[in-house]
Amino acid sequence: MIIVIERTAQKQDIDELKNVLQNENISYRELSGPDYLAFHVFLSNDGEAIVDNLQAYRAVEKIIPLSKPYRKQHAQRTRKPINIRGYDAAKEPFIIAGPCSIESESQLREIAKVVKTSGAHALRGGAFKPRTSPYTFQGMGDKGIHILRKVADEVDLPCVSEILSVNDVELFEKHVDLIQVGARNMQNYDLLKALSKTDKPIILKRGFASTVEEWLLSAEYLLDGGNDNVILCERGIRSFDPSTPHVLDLNGVLLAKTLTNLPIIVDPSHAAGDYRFVTDLSNAAIACGAEGVMVEVHHRPEIAKSDGKQSLKPDKFHDLCQSIQFIYEKNRPQ
Amino acid sequence: MIIVIERTAQKQDIDELKNVLQNENISYRELSGPDYLAFHVFLSNDGEAIVDNLQAYRAVEKIIPLSKPYRKQHAQRTRKPINIRGYDAAKEPFIIAGPCSIESESQLREIAKVVKTSGAHALRGGAFKPRTSPYTFQGMGDKGIHILRKVADEVDLPCVSEILSVNDVELFEKHVDLIQVGARNMQNYDLLKALSKTDKPIILKRGFASTVEEWLLSAEYLLDGGNDNVILCERGIRSFDPSTPHVLDLNGVLLAKTLTNLPIIVDPSHAAGDYRFVTDLSNAAIACGAEGVMVEVHHRPEIAKSDGKQSLKPDKFHDLCQSIQFIYEKNRPQ
Amino acid sequence: MIIVIERTAQKQDIDELKNVLQNENISYRELSGPDYLAFHVFLSNDGEAIVDNLQAYRAVEKIIPLSKPYRKQHAQRTRKPINIRGYDAAKEPFIIAGPCSIESESQLREIAKVVKTSGAHALRGGAFKPRTSPYTFQGMGDKGIHILRKVADEVDLPCVSEILSVNDVELFEKHVDLIQVGARNMQNYDLLKALSKTDKPIILKRGFASTVEEWLLSAEYLLDGGNDNVILCERGIRSFDPSTPHVLDLNGVLLAKTLTNLPIIVDPSHAAGDYRFVTDLSNAAIACGAEGVMVEVHHRPEIAKSDGKQSLKPDKFHDLCQSIQFIYEKNRPQ
Amino acid sequence: MIIVIERTAQKQDIDELKNVLQNENISYRELSGPDYLAFHVFLSNDGEAIVDNLQAYRAVEKIIPLSKPYRKQHAQRTRKPINIRGYDAAKEPFIIAGPCSIESESQLREIAKVVKTSGAHALRGGAFKPRTSPYTFQGMGDKGIHILRKVADEVDLPCVSEILSVNDVELFEKHVDLIQVGARNMQNYDLLKALSKTDKPIILKRGFASTVEEWLLSAEYLLDGGNDNVILCERGIRSFDPSTPHVLDLNGVLLAKTLTNLPIIVDPSHAAGDYRFVTDLSNAAIACGAEGVMVEVHHRPEIAKSDGKQSLKPDKFHDLCQSIQFIYEKNRPQ
């Protein structure tokens, strides 16, 4: 790492820092230029702990790390394909679809059938909903999970649902095939640590104002805890423009693909916030190398208990599946 | 609320929406202008549920709520003073101080003594640390909480610590006087619901990219669940400028004071990220009507296991206390 | 428009506002709900002037406009196709390409030939460069414009260059076919007013932190001044994540297409900031309905005087042209 | 500077980069660590030009500058006090006040008298207004400038006005004492270069989404061109929260004071956007070391042609002056 020395630092402050480095047996070399002084500090791979200390010294303006902090992810390694029963990464993008919320068994069944027919590889349905207001629909809870399991089995699809509480880990391990961690919980480390001990695939959404580095570091909690079956999911970031509350961050997707070998999918529904834009954003995501999409589908969006505005009707979802298949094939390395 | 009709909407789409409103017995009135059509919809106070549905209709461009969604907070009501043993809101700002992390009993004791002497009303100390990287210090855990309780009793101060897990609620109820929900957990609704059932004061930090409305709605989870002893805490928001990773949002503090009667404090340490700026930001916060501050103090910041860069040494903290007292007195309504 | 009344407003403040409306002969209707009072105010199409006044009254919490402020752009109207000699919107996306900066006649000629061969419809080249630092290359100035004209004629392409100063309008009118207003000058109204008096097509880039509404309102300065030959260009917005300094805002493109009938292109080079991502972002943009792209191309990016990092080499540019052609054809309404 | 080598770089790419450095006679040293390779490159003070080139090489992940790019500003040097006739930085904060727009001679005179009485050191008044919409009041233009000069002389105050066009430089040089460059023109380099040739003090507002570094580099255009009489002005940055469209960036002010010796003032009126918050933000700004404020004052905000919502009435402005004087005195180094 590089320690940049504060321009106004006194000699005694700089000496104090040097003494610390020497006392800690940390080797370093001075880098000096026309108007700066910096130190290149040699740290072994697990040297993060010292950073908190060093930056507190008066002589230090800032510390610039050179190592990547997510040690268990490397773009140099072979990309991990998404490995779910019934899905073949060599041939098609991974498609998760279903309603935002599970509202009833018949509602879920009706939607499950159409997404299966159109080619989805997994069925999503929310049972525990993280709602901004306590006065809106909070989901069916445990009952919803049982409906999801039942209907998923009927249509023979793996199922996906979002977990909010460490106390539900056992329930999800038993009944849910892919466990989703939502944007609001991306830095809920208590939950991440618990999930790192399961052997279920985890879909880790990026927080709407989290950097790519923070996202990969949250994934690192899962990997470090022992679960390397992680799928990253970009779902739109917060913007300064209230007319587009979220902006799909394809730059982030492209960057992440140079930094991690974990698979990355996109949630165009939350990124769009409007059904009219979902298919275009899906196409754009696949064109930028996303390995799949998670799409909200509802047979009657007007009566959906949540996210109706951004839910696709079955016919539009069918078109979406064909459209991304087309771009996926063009985009694959031969 | 106002439903703005999409400019390109067909008559049949508008009729469909009108039919829904009539079938649901929702009364409305058309508002028309030179180039727009909108509906004013009369909703009773608990009408949020319908919004998710209505905005899914094809004729709807957007919905503009006119009611405030945080029903249990009203700026019109008398402000709630901070009510903690040993603190008098009529005379002084509320001061919470202590180390970022509890590192040992002797470390905490040394710091506790000096913050008590300088006038702090509560002792903070982190035992469970939400760290961006899994490879950095994660806190002493339960043992830290027991040290905090012991040392707080010795110096006769109430104590404050951050909770990360619903599974620790019982531990915190037993040993911690004010329970802090951190910025990363502001929308951890599972945790908020659990804390709403305790009778402990909750310090609810604003997420670093959460709107004022989202912050107040998270507080509403606590109030709605039965705990109205909530202190809001602004701690800096995320900015587009990496040279100042957080920006203390005093505009947000000023706005929030017009919207809620809950007390609001500021965390200048995280907002600053640099010990040199902590006192100035504290003064600024009190000048803008914040009712207190939460400050990180360490006797030897250079060896702190976390946040050393932004921790004040005891003498600087002493000056800060005097300085904000001065502004608080000037600023109080007579 | 809707005037929302401040919750804490006194009767006398509300009466004052009503008197003003009556005295100004502005008709309005009260909208009341369980916890709010608002007025629907009927304004003719040119009523903006009054808004600045009304919002200053003590009783007013905020004003919500219902009319769109960009009167001369309507999504309901037929989309304006890009109309440049040699380009056919029915068959292909519009492609502008060339070096960031004009460095010499031979440099520009070499690049011009290859972009022509690959299918570009216009040649770009910067002669006046808006550089963040005064100590970096500022462009060849007038001499660059003359080189651009000469080389564009040789390869028989229209040319594009960025204007920085009202004093250069005459120069550009004489020698440049499409005049570009850069992101930093999107709200340089002095320049926009001068350009509104020319009959040249204007490429108006979106500011990197400008809302879609501000962008369309800047275009409105051109339309209102008499020049309706405007092409909007999205080039990435500023993000909170320093690892991706700009994020291509496809949500903004999709939204803008519902609000304006002006054509919209995308600059994937600035949006990417990295040559590796330019083609993917171009594909994504066309997939989202952008009508063209403006791409930086250099035969030797390593010695480019500016933007080498994000410039494509000729062979990669050739691939890009084929790739977006493919998506454009698939994406066109039949 | 530090060149960080792309992790996936091939040996031949790294050799290519080394060859370039050697051929250009640039000395460098390799810095290697457990999972990275970087070069420390020794550049003389004017080495920026090479950066654009180097970062285009395939082996380069990114370049981290170590020199500060604003060479003519140094926090190490003595701070430049604001030096305006009739103002004494040792005793008081610098106060600019007046209406947003000049509307008539009588309007300006009435306001000028009260701001003079309350202690303002300069009279502001806008004659050329950069309005987001072409359909709102654009200012009185030249006539406004003549009114400003006349009234300023009557009350014996220097005057301040915003310039939009290089074509007005002569007019402003003749009649205006301090020339303001607004937030939207902070990167209008054409205008900055023209103003660098005048000997008038320039008030350079920070763009609402400009980094501190970009702000100081825009000031550098003025200094480099020959005008070192520059006052920086922070006026609120754009936020993700539409309920507070701007956030006063006191972190930015505090940081800037460590980087430049130019004086810094704050515009609390635009930062607040609401008259109720202007005084509190002014106090906060002075508490954070701002050397003055620029405040919008109107005797009848309700009929102001622009910015009435955020304009203070005379009595509130009087209180503000006393309040910031008080904090300024406390805050000065003895």
B264-274 pLDDT, tens digit each: 999 999 999 99
Chain A residues in contact with B209 (beta carbon < 8 A): 207-209, 238
Which 3 state secondary structure label does DSSP give C46?
coil
Q: In this complex, is the C-beta atom of D265 within 8 Å of any C-beta atom belonging to chain B?
A: no
Using the beta-carbon criterion (under 8 Å), do A217 and B132 form an inter-chain contact? yes
Those chains having 3 or more beta-carbon pairs within 8 angstroms of chain C are A, B, D
Per-residue pLDDT at C292 exceeds 90: yes
Chain C residues in contact with B38 (beta carbon < 8 A): 66
Separation in Å, CA of B329 to nearest CA in chain A:
33
Between positions 245 and 264 of A, the ones with CB within 8 A of B are none
Q: How many CB pairs under 8 A join A and D?
A: 68
Chain C residues in contact with D131 (beta carbon < 8 A): 189
Over the stretch B40-77, which tens digit does the pLDDT of each residue have?
998 776 566 677 788 889 899 999 999 888 989 987 67
Chain D residues in contact with A44 (beta carbon < 8 A): 34
Q: In this complex, is the C-beta atom of A238 within 8 Å of any C-beta atom belonging to chain D?
A: yes
- For B281, the closest chain D residue by CA position comes to D288
Using the beta-carbon criterion (under 8 Å), do C43 and B66 form an inter-chain contact? no
Separation in Å, CA of C248 to nearest CA in chain D:
17
| Partners of B233 in beta bridges | B205, B265
Q: How many CB pairs under 8 A join B and D?
A: 127
Question: How big is chain C, counted in residues?
Answer: 334
Between positions 82 and 141 of D, the ones with CB within 8 A of A are none
Using the beta-carbon criterion (under 8 Å), do C283 and A281 form an inter-chain contact? no
Query: Looking at residues B246-258, what average pLDDT do you find?
Result: 97
Separation in Å, CA of D329 to nearest CA in chain C:
33
Per-residue pLDDT at A334 exceeds 60: no
Using the beta-carbon criterion (under 8 Å), do A237 and C242 form an inter-chain contact? no
Q: In this complex, is the C-beta atom of D68 within 8 Å of any C-beta atom belonging to chain B?
A: no
- For A68, the closest chain B residue by CA position comes to B133
Give the contacts of D136 (CB within 8 A, at least 6 positions apart): C48, C49, C52, D306
Predicted pLDDT at A308? 86
Using the beta-carbon criterion (under 8 Å), do D7 and A76 form an inter-chain contact? yes
Using the beta-carbon criterion (under 8 Å), do A67 and D36 form an inter-chain contact? yes
D45 pLDDT tier (thresholds 50, 70, 90): low
Query: Looking at residues C113-126, what average pLDDT do you find?
Result: 98
> How far is C-alpha A321 from the chain's CA centre?
22
Give the contacts of C120 (CB within 8 A, at least 6 positions apart): C95, C96, C97, C98, C157, C321
Yes or no: say if D248 and D281 are a contact pair by the CB < 8 Å rule.
yes
Q: ipTM, 2 decimals? A: 0.95
Mutation target to probe the D interface, by most D beta carbons within 10 A, among B62, B217, B250, B275 is B250
Chain D residues in contact with C167 (beta carbon < 8 A): 166-167, 190
Yes or no: say if C209 and C247 are a contact pair by the CB < 8 Å rule.
no
Give the contacts of A207 (CB within 8 A, at least 6 positions apart): A183, A184, A186, A187, A214, A215, B209
Predicted pLDDT at C324? 96
Q: Which of B1, B31, B240 sits opposite C40 (nearest CB)?
A: B31
Separation in Å, CA of D244 to nearest CA in chain C:
12
Predicted pLDDT at B108? 98
Give the contacts of C219 (CB within 8 A, at least 6 positions apart): C70, C73, C204, C230, C232, C260, C262
Predicted pLDDT at B334? 47
Per-residue pLDDT at B322 exceeds 60: yes
Predicted pLDDT at D334? 47
Q: Buried b vs exposed e over D5-34: b needs ≥16 C-beta within 10 Å?
A: bbeebeeebbeebeebbeeeebebeebebe
Parallel, antiparallel, or unpaired for β B36-41 and B2-5? antiparallel
| Gap between the Cα atoms of B266 and B269, Å rounded | 9
Q: In this complex, is the C-beta atom of B80 within 8 Å of any C-beta atom belonging to chain C?
A: no
| Gap between the Cα atoms of C191 and C181, Å rounded | 9
> How far is C-alpha D61 from the chain's CA centre?
32
Using the beta-carbon criterion (under 8 Å), do A214 and B132 form an inter-chain contact? yes
Per-residue pLDDT at B205 exceeds 50: yes
Q: In this complex, is the C-beta atom of A40 within 8 Å of any C-beta atom belonging to chain D?
A: yes
Dihedral over alpha carbons B63, B68, B70, B72 (to 10 degrees):
-150
Q: Which of A8, A35, A242 sits opposite D242 (nearest CB)?
A: A242
Average pLDDT, chain A: 93
Span of A77-81, B113-117, C9-13 with lowest mean pLDDT: A77-81
C334 pLDDT tier (thresholds 50, 70, 90): very low
Per-residue pLDDT at C6 exceeds 50: yes
| Gap between the Cα atoms of B13 and A325, Å rounded | 32
Task: Copy the structure tokens of residue A196.
Answer: 């790192």
Predicted pLDDT at D212? 98
Over the stretch D46-82, which tens digit does the pLDDT of each residue have?
566 677 778 889 899 999 999 888 989 987 678 889 9
| Gap between the Cα atoms of C204 and C216, Å rounded | 10
| pLDDT > 90: percent of chain B | 81
Chain A residues in contact with C271 (beta carbon < 8 A): 251
- Predicted TM-score (pTM) of the model is 0.96
B292 pLDDT tier (thresholds 50, 70, 90): very high
Q: Buried b vs exposed e over A17-52: b needs ≥16 C-beta within 10 Å?
A: beebbeeeebebeebebeebbbbbbebeeebbebbb
Using the beta-carbon criterion (under 8 Å), do A68 and D4 form an inter-chain contact? no
Predicted pLDDT at C54? 87
- For D24, the closest chain C residue by CA position comes to C303
C214 pLDDT tier (thresholds 50, 70, 90): very high
The number of C-alpha atoms within 13 Å of B106 and in the hemisphere containing its C-beta is 1
Phi-psi region for residue C237, left (φ > 0), alpha (ψ -120 to 50) or beta? beta
Of the two residues A137 and A154, the one the predictor is more confident about is A154
Report in angstroms the alpha-carbon separations of D20 from C307, D26, D53, D307: 18, 8, 10, 55
Q: Give the residue from C292, C310, C186 showing the smallest Cα distance to C244.
A: C310
Parallel, antiparallel, or unpaired for β D264-266 and B159-162? unpaired
| Gap between the Cα atoms of A140 and A158, Å rounded | 20
Over the stretch C218-255, which tens digit does the pLDDT of each residue have?
999 999 999 999 999 999 999 999 999 899 999 999 99
Query: Looking at residues C54-80, what average pLDDT do you find?
Result: 87
Between positions 159 and 218 of C, the ones with CB within 8 A of D are 164-167, 184-185, 187-190, 207-209, 214, 217
Over the stretch D98-111, which tens digit does the pLDDT of each residue have?
999 999 999 999 99
Q: Which of C60, C132, C207 sits opposite D214 (nearest CB)?
A: C132
| Gap between the Cα atoms of B48 and C282, Å rounded | 40
Separation in Å, CA of A271 to nearest CA in chain B:
16
Chain D residues in contact with C71 (beta carbon < 8 A): 135
- For C24, the closest chain D residue by CA position comes to D303
Over the stretch A43-90, which tens digit does the pLDDT of each residue have?
776 566 677 788 889 899 999 999 888 989 987 678 889 999 999 999
**Cβ-count burial of D200 within 10 angstroms (0-12 exposed, 13-18 middle, 19+ buried)?**
middle
> How far is C-alpha C188 from the chain's CA centre?
13
Name the phi and psi angles at A57, rounded to 5. Answer: -75, 140
Q: Report, in angstroms and rounded to the nearest whole number, the Rg of chain B calculated over CA atoms.
A: 23
Chain B residues in contact with A309 (beta carbon < 8 A): 52, 55-56, 60
Phi-psi region for residue A319, left (φ > 0), alpha (ψ -120 to 50) or beta? alpha
Chain B residues in contact with C67 (beta carbon < 8 A): 33-36
Chain C residues in contact with D130 (beta carbon < 8 A): 187, 189
Over the stretch B161-170, which tens digit does the pLDDT of each residue have?
999 999 999 9
Q: Give the residue from C94, D271, D218 showing the smallest Cα distance to B284.
A: D271
Helix extents (H) in chain A: 11-23, 48-54, 105-118, 142-155, 169-175, 189-195, 212-225, 250-259, 268-272, 275-287, 314-331
Q: In this complex, is the C-beta atom of B276 within 8 Å of any C-beta atom belonging to chain D?
A: yes
Predicted pLDDT at C137? 87
Per-residue pLDDT at B146 exceeds 50: yes
| Partners of D64 in beta bridges | D2
The count of other CB atoms within 10 Å of the CB of residue B185 is 27
Q: Which of C55, C189, C225 sits opposite D308 (nearest CB)?
A: C55
Check residue C235 and report its DSSP letter: -
Q: In this complex, is the C-beta atom of C242 within 8 Å of any C-beta atom belonging to chain A?
A: yes
Span of A177-191, A242-256, B20-34 with lowest mean pLDDT: B20-34
Q: In this complex, is the C-beta atom of D4 within 8 Å of any C-beta atom belonging to chain B?
A: no
